[in-house]
Structure 1
Amino acid sequence: MLAQLTINNYALINHLSIDFSSGLSIITGETGAGKSILLGALGLVLGNRADLSSLKDTSTKCIVEAKVAISNYNLEDFFNEVDLDYEAETIIRREILPSGKSRAFVNDTPVTLSVLNQLRTKLIDVHSQHQTMQLSDNNFQFSILDALAKNSARIASYKRGFIQLNKLKKELSLLEEQKKEANQQYEYNSHLFKELEEAKIKAEEQDELEEKLEKLNNIEDIKLNLSESLEITINEEIGIQNLLNTLENRLSKIATFSKEYQEISARITSVKIEIDDVVSELENANENVDFNPNEAEEINDRLQLLYNLQKKHSVSNNAELINVFEELSEKVGQVESADEFINAKQKQIDDVAVKLDKVADLISNARTKTIPKLNKQLQVLLTDLGMENARFSIKIKPTKNYFNNGKDELEFLFSANKGGSFGELKKVASGGELSRIMLSVKTILSENTQLPTIIFDEIDTGVSGEVSNKIAAIMQQMSSNMQVIAITHLPQIAAKGVNHYKVYKKEIKGVTTTNLKLLSKEERIQEIAEMLSGKDISDSALTHAKQLLN
């Protein structure tokens, strides 16, 4: 419920602060007095876009603040979702700075206009004449039917499945696109993969082969140097082994004379053991040196294969070549297993679709059962509003398509005259008829949903007499379930309000400002009398005004 509206430096308003109560509140005023300015300010605080033209004084900022009582709206979850502190009395504030920038706050926490717009749908429904065209909007028509059908929980469940279904369909489409792209390269990639697979490449193989080939290519030098090395070590006359043997014998004879000689002798013995081991290695190496031209040719061929593959794939070593092989393996594998993934994804889609179809059927059945009830309620209300011949043709058409609220198409046609043909509301209903239909619809919605505060901006345009009394009665009935604020020019409606506010202009020192005040009982009699007879209020108008108020 809108509890208070405070406006500073907006359009023709210097400062205005007004409290509102529950039930039916009435706002009246002469044409041009500024009723639209009030709605403009309210729209601003609820998320409408603004510019510097909103500022009365462009040197200071404009502030519009609304206090709303929200304890009955079950909005705790929404506040948590948008990361806001929940307060039973929430303050929404909008500021327009002289620079043209704007800021918005909910309970002093900065918010985006998107959050404000989400919040406004849960709090205040501002309905003006031009919004009657909303009646022709298919989504709005569905919302009427679904409210009576108590479909909100089913549609919430359906939407979750609908989101999941679309997500899975996008994933399937991506898999199919990937398969298509992969198929175009499959033959070539498969050839490259098999070529590398047959090569059986090992990471360290190239270094080992190059070393082995180097050895084979220098076999003569190796053989010669090994032989000469052996000759130097094992020659009986000048060989290192014989010399070390002699040296070891000499030192062993004096080793017992001092610790110093003993250490030298031990070191010579150690060197002799090392030389003996080297000689053994030289003999083995010399015996194993053998040139095999076939082996050299095989190594050459293998290395050439590796070099060619590296050049082909623009890499410099076997490790990188193995990476290429693994990438090709994945690409080839994707194609070969693509159908498996696609089939698995299609099964997921089919499973979700089966569940979604069941929920869609429940939604559709509830809608179909509700149509007679909606028809009857609309006809009763419209008869009271002077449209006794109004008829609706509402039909549900199940389809195979998935929409965001089910699988139905809705035909919502209207006929205002007896024997007249049915047609789209926007084509066959007049402005006054649309206003009365919208009022009837809002009445039905108020009885079946937890509607927010509703503000009617001259929805009574084009009606008078007994119909205006009926409109007033309907608004009174709606106000028992919700806060209703009606901007009206009809005295019959103005007299039904719990509170009556007047919008008026005032000129001070050549500057015009718009003001709003709550009327006392006597002021209210005067205002309604003026609405009845004009500026020159007659005694009969005063009497009539008192009768209306009583």
Structure 2
Amino acid sequence: MLTQLSINNYALINQLSINFSSGLSIITGETGAGKSILLGALGLVLGNRADLSSLKDTSRKCVVEARLAILNYNLEDFFNQVDLDFETETIIRREILPSGKSRAFVNDTPVTLAVLNQLRSKLIDVHSQHQTMQLSDTSFQFTVIDALAKNKERISSYKRGFVQLSQLKKELVELENIQKEANQQYDYNLHLFKELEEAKVKVDEQAVLEEKLEKLNNIEAIKDNLSEALELTVNEEIGIQNLLNTLENRLTKISSFSKEYQEISARVTSVKIEIDDIVAELENANENIDFNPNEAEEINDRLQLLYNLQKKHAVSSNKELVTVFEDLSEKVGVVESAGEVINKKQKEIDSVSEKLDKVAGLISKARTNSTPKLTKELEKLLADLGMENARFSIKIKPSKNYLSNGKDELEFLFSANKGGNFGELKKVASGGELSRIMLSVKKVLSTNTQLPTIIFDEIDTGVSGEVSNKIAAIMQDMSTNMQVIAITHLPQIAAKGSNHYKVYKEEIKGITTTNLKQLSTQERIVEIAEMLSGKDISDSALTHAKELLN
């Protein structure tokens, strides 16, 4: 419920703060006094877009603030979802800076316009004349029917399933596209995969083979040098082994005479042991060296295969070839297992579809059961509003398709005249009739939904006399369940309000400003009398105004 609206530096308003209460509140004022400015400011704080033209004084920022009492409207979950602190008295503030930048806050926490608009739909319903065209919108018509059908939880459940089903179908299409694309490359990828599989490429193989081939290609030089090396070590006359043996013998004989000789002798012995070990390895290498032309050819062929594979796949090492092999394995595997994956995804879709069908069936049944009640209530309300021959034809038709709010199609037709043909509301109802139909619809919604505040902006245009009394009675009845604010030009409606506010213009130092004030009982009498007879208020108008108020 809106408890206070404060406006600073907006359009023709310099500074204004007004308190609102529950029940039916009336706003009146002369044409052009600024009633639309009030709604504009309220729209701004509820998420409408704005620009610098909203500023009265372009050197100062514009601030609009709305205080709302929201304790009894089950909004805690929404506040949690959008990460806002829940306060039973919530303050929404909108600022427009001279630079043109706009900022919005809920309980002093910055928010986006998207969040404001979401919150707006849960707090205030502003209804103006042009919004009567909403009556022809199928989604709005479903909103009315579902309110009576108590379908809120069912539709929430359906929408969760609908989102899940849409996602699963999207994933299935993606899988099928991947399979189609993969199938086109499958034969070629399979050929490349098998080629690498048969090659049995190992990461370190190339370096080992290249070393082996280098050895085989230089076998003669290796043999010659090994032989010469052995000759230098084992020759009886000049061989290193014999020389070291002689050196060791000489030093052994004097090692006992001095620690110095003993250390030198030990070092020679160590060298002799190392040389003996080297000789053994040289002899072993010389004995085992053997040139095998077949082995060289095999290694050469193997290396050529690896070089060719690397060139074919535009890589420079076996390690990269192994990575290519793994990628090809995955691509081939995707195609070969795609059928199983797609079947699994289809089973998920079938399962969700089955559950969704059940919920959609419950929604449809509740809608079908509620349409006679809706038809009866609307026709009764319209009869009270002077449309005795108004008739509705509302039919729920099953659809094969999953729609955003169920599996129903809706035929919502209207006839204003006795014996007249049914047709779409926008084609067969006049502007005045649409206003009364919308009021009736809002009345039905007010008893079946939990909306804190509704604002009617001259919904009574085009009616007078007894009908205006009926409109006032309906608004009064609605105000027992919710806060109702009505901007009106009819005295019959103005007199029914529990609170009455007047919008007026005044000129201060050559500058026109718009103001709003709450009227006292005496001021209400004068205001309503003026609405009845104009600026020149007669005694009979004052008497009539008092009668209306009483």
Partner of 2:455: 455
What does 1:349-428 align with in structure 2 at a 5 Å threshold? 349-428=349-428
Partner of 1:273: 273
Q: Once the 2 structures are TM-superposed, how far is the Cα of residue 301 of structure 1 from its aligned partner?
A: 0.8
Partner of 2:473: 473
CA distance in 2, matches of 1:379, 1:516: 37
**Worse-superposed segment, 171-180 or 488-497:** 171-180
CA distance in 2, matches of 1:372, 1:354: 29
CA distance in 1, matches of 2:420, 2:452: 36
Partner of 1:109: 109
Q: Once the 2 structures are TM-superposed, how far is the Cα of residue 192 of structure 1 from its aligned partner?
A: 1.1
Partner of 2:81: 81
CA distance in 2, matches of 1:498, 1:331: 75
Q: Once the 2 structures are TM-superposed, how far is the Cα of residue 537 of structure 1 from its aligned partner?
A: 1.7
CA deviation vs aligned residue, 1:9-50 (integer Å, no higher than 9, x gap): 211111111111100000111111111111111111111111
Q: Once the 2 structures are TM-superposed, how far is the Cα of residue 326 of structure 1 from its aligned partner?
A: 1.1
CA deviation vs aligned residue, 1:264-293 (integer Å, no higher than 9, x gap): 222222222211111111111111111111
Partner of 1:10: 10
Partner of 1:124: 124
SS at match of 2:387: coil
CA deviation vs aligned residue, 1:229-266 (integer Å, no higher than 9, x gap): 11211122222222222222222222222222222222
Partner of 2:180: 180
CA deviation vs aligned residue, 1:493-549 (integer Å, no higher than 9, x gap): 111100011111112233222111111111111111111122222222211111111
CA distance in 2, matches of 1:222, 1:232: 16
Matched to 2:467, the amino acid is V
**Worse-superposed segment, 327-336 or 253-262:** 253-262
Partner of 1:496: 496
CA distance in 2, matches of 1:248, 1:349: 91
Partner of 1:528: 528
CA deviation vs aligned residue, 1:53-88 (integer Å, no higher than 9, x gap): 212222222211111111112222222222222221
How big is the alpha-carbon RMSD for the aligned residues of Structure 1 and Structure 2? 1.2
Partner of 1:135: 135
Matched to 2:446, the amino acid is S
1:71 paired with 2:50, answer no
Partner of 1:540: 540
CA distance in 2, matches of 1:354, 1:159: 14
CA distance in 1, matches of 2:508, 2:263: 122
CA distance in 2, matches of 1:282, 1:508: 117
SS at match of 2:155: helix
CA distance in 1, matches of 2:7, 2:292: 102
What does 1:152-163 align with in structure 2 at a 5 Å threshold? 152-163=152-163
Matched to 1:56, the amino acid is K
1:243 paired with 2:205, answer no
Matched to 1:496, the amino acid is K
CA deviation vs aligned residue, 1:121-144 (integer Å, no higher than 9, x gap): 111111001101111111110010
**Worse-superposed segment, 15-24 or 264-273:** 264-273
Partner of 1:332: 332
SS at match of 1:419: coil
Partner of 2:202: 202
**Worse-superposed segment, 343-352 or 141-150:** 343-352
TM-score by length of 1: 0.98
CA distance in 1, matches of 2:228, 2:380: 124
Partner of 2:508: 508
Q: Once the 2 structures are TM-superposed, how far is the Cα of residue 99 of structure 1 from its aligned partner?
A: 2.0
CA deviation vs aligned residue, 1:284-319 (integer Å, no higher than 9, x gap): 111111111111111111111111111111111111
Matched to 2:105, the amino acid is F
Matched to 1:139, the amino acid is S
CA distance in 2, matches of 1:238, 1:8: 115
Partner of 2:46: 46
Q: Once the 2 structures are TM-superposed, how far is the Cα of residue 452 of structure 1 from its aligned partner?
A: 2.6
Q: Once the 2 structures are TM-superposed, how far is the Cα of residue 110 of structure 1 from its aligned partner?
A: 1.8
Partner of 1:485: 485
CA deviation vs aligned residue, 1:165-192 (integer Å, no higher than 9, x gap): 1111111111111112222222211111
Matched to 2:175, the amino acid is L
Matched to 1:536, the amino acid is D
Q: Once the 2 structures are TM-superposed, how far is the Cα of residue 356 of structure 1 from its aligned partner?
A: 0.9
CA distance in 2, matches of 1:217, 1:416: 107
SS at match of 1:141: helix
**Worse-superposed segment, 217-226 or 245-254:** 245-254
TM-score by length of 2: 0.98
1:254 paired with 2:248, answer no
CA deviation vs aligned residue, 1:87-128 (integer Å, no higher than 9, x gap): 211111112222222221222222211111111111111100
Matched to 1:458, the amino acid is E
Matched to 1:476, the amino acid is Q
Q: Once the 2 structures are TM-superposed, how far is the Cα of residue 423 of structure 1 from its aligned partner?
A: 0.6
SS at match of 1:466: helix
Partner of 1:229: 229
CA distance in 1, matches of 2:215, 2:52: 88
CA deviation vs aligned residue, 1:473-508 (integer Å, no higher than 9, x gap): 110000000000001111111111000111111122
Matched to 2:123, the amino acid is L
Q: Once the 2 structures are TM-superposed, how far is the Cα of residue 153 of structure 1 from its aligned partner?
A: 0.5
Partner of 1:342: 342
SS at match of 1:64: strand
Partner of 2:26: 26
Partner of 1:149: 149
Q: Once the 2 structures are TM-superposed, how far is the Cα of residue 403 of structure 1 from its aligned partner?
A: 1.1
CA distance in 2, matches of 1:540, 1:460: 24
SS at match of 2:503: strand
Matched to 2:514, the amino acid is T
Matched to 1:327, the amino acid is D
Q: Once the 2 structures are TM-superposed, how far is the Cα of residue 380 of structure 1 from its aligned partner?
A: 1.4
SS at match of 1:448: coil
Partner of 1:170: 170
Matched to 2:406, the amino acid is G
Matched to 2:331, the amino acid is K
SS at match of 2:283: helix
SS at match of 2:497: coil
CA distance in 2, matches of 1:390, 1:452: 30
Matched to 2:439, the amino acid is L
1:91 paired with 2:91, answer yes
CA distance in 2, matches of 1:129, 1:315: 72
